[in-house]
């Protein structure tokens, strides 16, 4: 081996030996509880509606929805999700969904519906959207009008865009396909959403948007959730000067299917357009990240029950996980972690990597070493933190 080759090999070995940088913790207490809003596109639009109804007392400024639909539109059925809730194949039972929301609010599975009146609703649909038919968004408007006055529900549905988050200056031209679901349609959708929700009566924010492309930073989602079709890390934009002593507003932005950071990098989190307005107007922007699973191969948010049947209530695991992140930013009390949990034969736990064999042929929980017994016995295992399994009860 030459001296140069030996040096290269040593450098490679040193590089491989350096541990991966851990994601930072989400900052605590930098956002103002009185100035919180939420938005999302596609599955993220459905998720934004779920967050709004589950915690309207927190999202007091309201919600922005791009190509989404009414709360619990799928009613736990993927066939409903793919049919009436996307293609509008068959009528969406808006009146029944309104009644369902009223029942759930009465049982405290959702927020008190009177809390919705504090904010506004901004609805956007492209006229060329063939993924979520504009008629679905029309039904979402009807759904919200059951709870809010007409003046509080603002619609924008006159741009010839497809199933995409439109921008003023990023992505392919408006009439071109975009595999990242971001198109330059000469319209600042992020600015319009923030303007209606956090601006004045004319939908204008106090200060013009900042120049350039303010970038997000990575944070550790694993502090809040394991499993439940969510990635180990999320992204957040925190303007300079946002502290516990000088708090900023907060906006939560949900990506759509095939749009998380594992799939398209930081295109949505850094180029959708939120951060430029957030920097100049002192708004923290939280970008939670959903992940792919066998039952959710496109990395969608849970709006039909692919992760949990409680998806459209306060008890939905993804709703709880995101609210724990929101509470961290607001400086609220720490929420219990949302741990992945599985009940199965011990042999199945071993096959899935949740258990290991002992020298005597029995099984033990991976990470904790708790004894599980034999392969044919059934055990519930909770994962917290990531990679450490303990026996418990699945909720």
**Active-site residue set:** 42, 129, 163
Q: Are 137 and 67 in contact (CB under 8 A)?
A: yes
Cα–Cα distance measured from residue 199 to residue 354, given in angstroms and rounded to the nearest whole number = 49
Q: Are 272 and 264 in contact (CB under 8 A)?
A: no
For residues 248-266, one letter each, b for 16 or more C-beta atoms within 10 angstroms of the residue's C-beta and e for the rest, the string is: bbbbbbbbbbbbbbebbee
Question: Can you tell me which residue has the tokens 């502090």?
Answer: 223
Which among 345, 329, 326 is positioned nearest to 38, based on CA atoms?
A: 326
Helix segments in the chain, DSSP class H? 3-17, 43-54, 78-82, 94-106, 134-145, 189-198, 261-264, 267-271, 274-281, 317-330, 346-351
DSSP string, 149-170: -GGGEEEE--S---SSEEESSS
């Amino acid at each position: 081996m030459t001296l140069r080759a030996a040096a290269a090999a040593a450098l490679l070995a040193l590089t491989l030996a350096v541990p991966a940088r851990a994601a930072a913790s989400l900052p605590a207490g930098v956002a103002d509880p009185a100035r919180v809003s939420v938005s999302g596109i596609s599955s993220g639009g459905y998720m934004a509606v779920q967050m709004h109804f589950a915690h309207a007392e927190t999202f007091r400024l309201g919600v922005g929805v791009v190509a989404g639909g009414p709360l619990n539109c799928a009613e736990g059925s993927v066939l409903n999700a793919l049919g009436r809730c996307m293609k509008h194949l068959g009528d969406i039972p808006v009146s029944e969904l309104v009644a369902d929301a009223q029942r759930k609010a009465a049982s405290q599975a959702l927020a008190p519906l009177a809390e919705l009146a504090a904010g506004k609703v901004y609805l956007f649909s492209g006229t060329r959207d063939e993924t979520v038919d504009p008629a679905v968004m029309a039904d979402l408007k009807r759904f919200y009008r059951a709870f809010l006055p007409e003046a509080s529900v603002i619609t924008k549905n006159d741009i010839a865009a497809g199933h995409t988050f439109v921008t003023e200056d990023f992505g392919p031209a408006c009439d071109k396909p975009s595999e990242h679901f971001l198109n330059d349609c000469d319209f600042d959708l992020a600015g319009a959403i923030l303007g209606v929700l956090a601006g004045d009566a004319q939908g204008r924010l106090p200060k013009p948007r900042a120049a350039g492309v303010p970038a997000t930073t990575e944070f550790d989602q694993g502090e809040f959730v394991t499993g439940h079709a969510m990635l180990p890390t999320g992204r957040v934009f925190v303007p300079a000067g946002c502290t516990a002593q000088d708090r900023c507003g907060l906006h939560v932005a949900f990506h759509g299917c095939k749009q998380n950071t594992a799939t398209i990098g930081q295109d949505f989190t850094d180029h959708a357009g939120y951060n430029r307005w957030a920097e100049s107007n002192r708004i923290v922007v939280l970008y939670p990240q959903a992940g792919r699973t066998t039952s959710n191969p496109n990395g969608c948010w849970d709006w039909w029950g692919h992760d949990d049947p409680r998806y459209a209530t306060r008890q939905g695991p993804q709703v709880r996980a995101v609210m724990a992140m929101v509470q961290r930013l607001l400086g609220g009390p720490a929420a219990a972690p949302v741990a992945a949990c599985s009940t199965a034969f011990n042999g199945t736990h071993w096959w899935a990597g949740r258990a290991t064999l002992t020298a005597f042929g029995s099984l033990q929980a991976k990470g904790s070493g708790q004894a599980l017994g034999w392969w044919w016995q059934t055990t519930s295992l909770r994962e917290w933190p990531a990679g450490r399994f303990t026996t418990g009860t699945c909720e």
